[in-house]
Structure 1
Amino acid sequence: MKKKIFGVVTLCATLLLGACGTGNNAGTGNDGGTETTSTSNVAEENEGLDFPVSTSNEAELIDGGTLEVAVVMDTQFQGLFQWEFYQDSYDRDFLEPSHEYLFLKNDDFMIVDGGPADLVLDEENKTATITLRDELKWSDGVDVTAEDVIFSYEVIGHADYTGIRYDNNFTNIIGMEAYNAGESDTISGITAISDKVVQIEYKEVHPGMMQQGGGVYHSALAKHTFDGIEVKDMESSDPVRKNPIGFGPYVMSNIVPGESVEYLPNEYYYGEEPALDKLVFRAVPSASINEALLAKHYDMAIKMPTDTFDTYKDMDGYQMLGRPEQSYTYIGFNLGTWDEESGSVDYDPESKMANKQLRQAMAYAIDNDAIGERFYHGLRSRGTTLIPPVFGSLHDTTIEGYALNTDKANQLLDDAGYLDVDGDGFREDPNGDPLTINFASMSGGETAQPLADYYLQQWQEVGLNVEYTTGRLIDFQAFYDRLKNDDPEIDVYQAAWGTGSDPSPTSLWGPNSAFNYTRYESEENTRLLAAIDSNASFDEAKRKEAFDAWQAYAFEEAFAFPTLYRNQILPISDRVANFSWAYDVDHNPWAAVGVTAEERE
């Protein structure tokens, strides 16, 4: 078939000749998760990767000191500083020193005792009981109570809630739907047993509810700080944007919107007294982070681009920590819209991308093995299923996924009736009408443009006329706004998911998930997701069987396909001590971190 190739893609001289260098795409989450961001030892999860997960500096901490942290991002952070309202992994990074989750988790991401609260799940009676620490206080000194836990549910479940966390996990609570519909002023299934104990009644309980972020909401919200503020106005209110409080080791003391946050120790913290006098988090563009580290401006750099790893891996004065991400990059297809009234996706079987052979062909046209190696120096690898391998045995290793197979892509398109009728090098749709596919991807980093160009080139190689939505890459915030609002100019898009700690895909790909940006829905998809989240899945073998069945179905339907599994690198100054990047630490890592010298060297 005659092909049209974007001239600009020749700057890559094809992907295989070298790393044209994408950026540090981040994505949202279900929180557990986010529009992106494993366990304790990276080497265990990633063949050929061997990075420590904790600092090796064992020198004595100095008294106090200031730790300066770069958050690498090519956009301004939104500044939604409460768990109930944040939407992306950038805000999550800024939240972590000051806002803890209620529960701790182990290396399987299962909730364990010992954190701000403990959880007991009663399978027989279908209840969850949350017991707060007696000494747990907000950073303004007010006790954290059962009323604050319930307030989180009342805000998220309210009809005027403007956030993105109202999903199946909340509608599963007895009385929640009546409360959301305005038929009740309270949620009948949530009861304060005492000042520090809350009991929640569910329609169904499932094993994912013992995962962090897996069904039992992980936060409390300081009700007294929202006095007089209507739910519809909370997202823009001072307790979210200007003076948020939490119960983490630090408190946000100075917020420069979109730029930086300063933190001071929380004098009411329930745990060990924080070691530092001050923390400073600052947004730093990816183009200038290497120079900033060389100049020793920062003690660590969160979300360091992996596409430029070879330029900083041996940087003097820094140790490199590493871990697999609870995330993946994916290509998704626009297959419908979001129905606000019903709170569910409205799948359109007549949409432009509804033919699964078209979607499969686009997946087979991409060489993700080469992308991971050449663009990311082996720090990313080809994705095979929508359950990343960080979740251990629940990831189905028997599914090989979509690897480059141009012949198969062409055959799929031919069989589906996508033929080049007029001989211009591009295929028409099965009705013989011109077919233009609009592709959206995020800007940011050195490789965002050449990688996106590569996708266009590969799709054009198999005769598909794919063009950029808006004619160019889109800023992170604007990109996700377009997805959330079902922009009709987007047919296919590249994005990333932070999965959170619950491997269940329901909150990302379920029919009632606002995060399901593909807007795909089917009876079979819903049935398979329900099996994962069913009582039967308390049996480990049945749970594995249910996960495998859904992964096979998702691979076949290709409403989205994973492109890359991701690993993170954290440059951290040699003067930093007592910092662990493990997912299963038994404390907030920001509580223990300190420095052993006054200056970075």
Structure 2
Amino acid sequence: MRILIAILVALSFSATAEQKVLRIPFLIAETNFDPAFASDLYSNNVIDEILEPPLTYDMLARPAKLKPQTVEAMPEITEGGRIYTMRVKKGIYFSDDPVFKGKKRELVAQDFIYAIQRLIDPKMSSPNSWMVDGKIEGLDEMRDKAKKAGKLDYDAPISGLRALDRHTLQIRLAKPDYNFLYILALGTLGAQAREVVEHYGSEIGGHPVGTGAFVLKEWKRSSKIVLERNPTFREEYYDAQPAAADVEGQKLAAEMKGKRLPCIDRVEIYIIEESQPRWLAFLNNELDWINFPYEFRSTVVPDGTHLAPWAKKRGFKTFPSVEAGTTYLYYNMKDPVWGGYKPEQVALRRAVGFAYDIDEEINLVRNGFGVEAVTPVPPGVLGFDANFNLGRTHDPAKAKALLDMFGYVDRDGDGWRETPDGKPLVFEYATGPSQLERLFTQLWKKNLDTIGIRMEVVVEKWPDLRKKSKLGKLQNWHLAWNGDFPDAENFYQLLYGPNCGSSNDGCFQLPEFDRLYEKALAIPPTNAEERAKVYQQMARLVAVYQPWKLNVHRKRIDFVQPWVLGWRKQQFLHEAMRYADIDLEIRAKYMK
């Protein structure tokens, strides 16, 4: 793989010597670039560069700060948080496409309405419908009618979605939801031209057309993705407002001041699943930035913070952080053995939790690049509770006692426990084929062997496991959720009962939890303390019922080449390629 990238990079340099070409890796293959279909991080990294929602985030502000993107100003919110009114900027155009027959296609309010409608179209079965389900007045009724009719009527009026004129969008919510501002900043709600989607039909995932800074130029599935500067992109300049005390942010802002976006001419994305070739490609100057693979900590950052002398000489820029995300293993709550809410079913999941050695995961598998997660909410997100304490989380003796107490014992003397009714007790662990995933598999098997639970391994590529997960065909799956916005709602929606079939892969459905979720949504952002208290109650319910085995909030160090300007990881903007620049002179020196 490293040799292949080197050849491709060399060819690219010879063909486009003066172009600014950004090269980055994806750890996992994309699915496609249809925002109504894609729910994985890597597909959305690309979608965010092509399609534009009404709002976005300041690239350098900490804490995260929303700002207008394709609208003139932040939405006017009236009727106690129910009505959002915004004016779409005039003179924004979709990138050229044959569907437009040589004419410029201006962005209008109806394009956002259409993007929202696609999320509730029964034919799409969108995993992203959670973003609007139950939120917009009249939208659920439209969805239900479409299910009965077998087709969504996109021309039917919706009381909660109105284009007051060509450039004025008004959204009326079914009930107050002050977090809806964050939804308006998700790439999934990026404007789409209806005529384009209808023209490409089921192939739209390979033909995204938006108003963003880049266009999709080339796509070799699970191998390489190429974006190029959108030649019709509007005149837009870098504008970020880091805090005065943010020395690092101020330096990055100075590097980009006054520059027209995007600065990059071309982005080449390589799918490199294994850590070693990914890291070697970075060391060989074939990649411009990388989330440091923690397997190499001892030789690169031996104390976990400071670079080894040889790495310092290379001029690498490093940006350490704790991700606004959580890794976890969900249980299929509809599984007759591992799901359910009966005491013996909860006890089984709790026993597995006690058996799993999270310290070994953090210190041996992750080389210290993780913080134990005791609730679904990570640091830096409203609802994170640093004082929430589960006590000792690794206790094999307690795990065995729980299993014995509830009848999960070895009845036939083969060394493996059976269910209370005498059937084989088998933990079917779903995972991918990478070397890192094999390390996790070994750890899980070792821990479950300790308490006498037989483990069988299902190994498939991520996109295939995702399909099975969405169909409810996995017993469990190890996932990570990186926050879309800085509020615990974005994490607890993964456990909200009505989201079963979309974002709630495990189909956890607990009425008490759902009521608290809905209560939190109605609390204004000015009363963050009250909202946080509700989130604490939700965290306790998760701890009691154990629909997830919580693992870690990942630490990361972004390594960036010395010729890359203006870029550091923004937690809610994904890769934010459009905000990076490349100093060709510095790059040329390193390429000699």
After TM superposition, the score normalised by the length of structure 1 is 0.78
Task: Indicate how the Cα distance of structure 1 residues 174 and 566 shifts in structure 2: closer, same or farther if over 3 A, else same.
Answer: same
Work out the CA distance in 1 between the residues paired with 2:199 and 2:26. 36
CA deviations over 1:485-509 (Å, ceiling 9, x no partner): 222xx43332222232142034311
Which residue of the other structure, out of 467, 473, 480, is the alignment partner of 1:496?
480
Unpaired segments ≥5 residues, structure 2: 1-16, 97-103, 147-152, 238-259, 302-307
**What is the CA distance between 1:449 and its match in structure 2?**
1.0
Aligned pairs for 1:195-594 within 5 A: 195-212=166-183, 218-228=189-199, 234=201, 236-237=202-203, 239-241=204-206, 243-270=207-234, 271-272=236-237, 273=260, 274-286=262-274, 287-301=276-290, 303-310=291-298, 313=301, 314=308, 315=311, 316-336=314-334, 349=340, 355-391=345-381, 394-395=384-385, 397-400=387-390, 403-444=393-434, 446-469=435-458, 473-487=459-473, 490-501=474-485, 502-504=487-489, 505-513=491-499, 514-535=502-523, 539-583=527-571, 590-594=578-582
Task: Indicate how the Cα distance of structure 1 residues 283 and 436 shifts in structure 2: closer, same or farther if over 3 A, else same.
Answer: closer
**1:265 touches 1:278 (CA, 8 Å); kept in 2?**
yes
Work out the CA distance in 2 between the residues paired with 1:198 and 1:401. 50
* 1:189 paired to 2:175: no
Amino acid corresponding to residue 97 of structure 1 in structure 2: E
**What is the CA distance between 1:401 and its match in structure 2?**
6.4
**2:321 touches 2:555 (CA, 8 Å); kept in 1?**
yes
* 1:177 paired to 2:140: yes
Task: Indicate how the Cα distance of structure 1 residues 136 and 542 shifts in structure 2: closer, same or farther if over 3 A, else same.
Answer: same
**What is the CA distance between 1:560 and its match in structure 2?**
0.5
CA deviations over 1:427-453 (Å, ceiling 9, x no partner): 222234332222222332x32112211
Work out the CA distance in 1 between the residues paired with 2:24 and 2:186. 32
Unpaired segments ≥5 residues, structure 1: 1-62, 338-346
Work out the CA distance in 2 between the residues paired with 1:580 and 1:420. 53
After TM superposition, the score normalised by the length of structure 2 is 0.79
Amino acid corresponding to residue 81 of structure 1 in structure 2: F
**1:103 touches 1:111 (CA, 8 Å); kept in 2?**
no
Aligned length: 514
**2:325 touches 2:378 (CA, 8 Å); kept in 1?**
yes
**2:371 touches 2:553 (CA, 8 Å); kept in 1?**
yes
Task: Indicate how the Cα distance of structure 1 residues 214 and 105 shifts in structure 2: closer, same or farther if over 3 A, else same.
Answer: closer
* 1:65 paired to 2:19: yes
Match of 1:155 in 2: 118
Work out the CA distance in 2 between the residues paired with 1:249 and 1:364. 48
Work out the CA distance in 1 between the residues paired with 2:567 and 2:185. 27
CA deviations over 1:366-411 (Å, ceiling 9, x no partner): 1212311222222212111111123155335323366211122122
Task: Indicate how the Cα distance of structure 1 residues 245 and 495 shifts in structure 2: closer, same or farther if over 3 A, else same.
Answer: same
Aligned pairs for 1:129-144 within 5 A: 129-140=85-96, 141-144=104-107
**What is the CA distance between 1:283 and its match in structure 2?**
1.9
Work out the CA distance in 2 between the residues paired with 1:372 and 1:477. 26
Work out the CA distance in 1 between the residues paired with 2:81 and 2:482. 32
Work out the CA distance in 2 between the residues paired with 1:335 and 1:155. 28
Work out the CA distance in 1 between the residues paired with 2:465 and 2:344. 22
* 1:99 paired to 2:42: no
RMSD: 3.1
**1:576 touches 1:596 (CA, 8 Å); kept in 2?**
no
**2:365 touches 2:439 (CA, 8 Å); kept in 1?**
no
Task: Indicate how the Cα distance of structure 1 residues 443 and 402 shifts in structure 2: closer, same or farther if over 3 A, else same.
Answer: farther
Task: Indicate how the Cα distance of structure 1 residues 285 and 424 shifts in structure 2: closer, same or farther if over 3 A, else same.
Answer: closer
CA deviations over 1:34-71 (Å, ceiling 9, x no partner): xxxxxxxxxxxxxxxxxxxxxxxxxxxxx963323232
Task: Indicate how the Cα distance of structure 1 residues 392 and 206 shifts in structure 2: closer, same or farther if over 3 A, else same.
Answer: closer
Amino acid corresponding to residue 218 of structure 2 in structure 1: N
Higher relative contact order (CA 8 A, sep 6+): 1
Work out the CA distance in 2 between the residues paired with 1:512 and 1:108. 33
**1:385 touches 1:401 (CA, 8 Å); kept in 2?**
no
- 3-state DSSP of counterpart to 1:410: helix
Work out the CA distance in 1 between the residues paired with 2:317 and 2:514. 45
Work out the CA distance in 2 between the residues paired with 1:293 and 1:464. 41
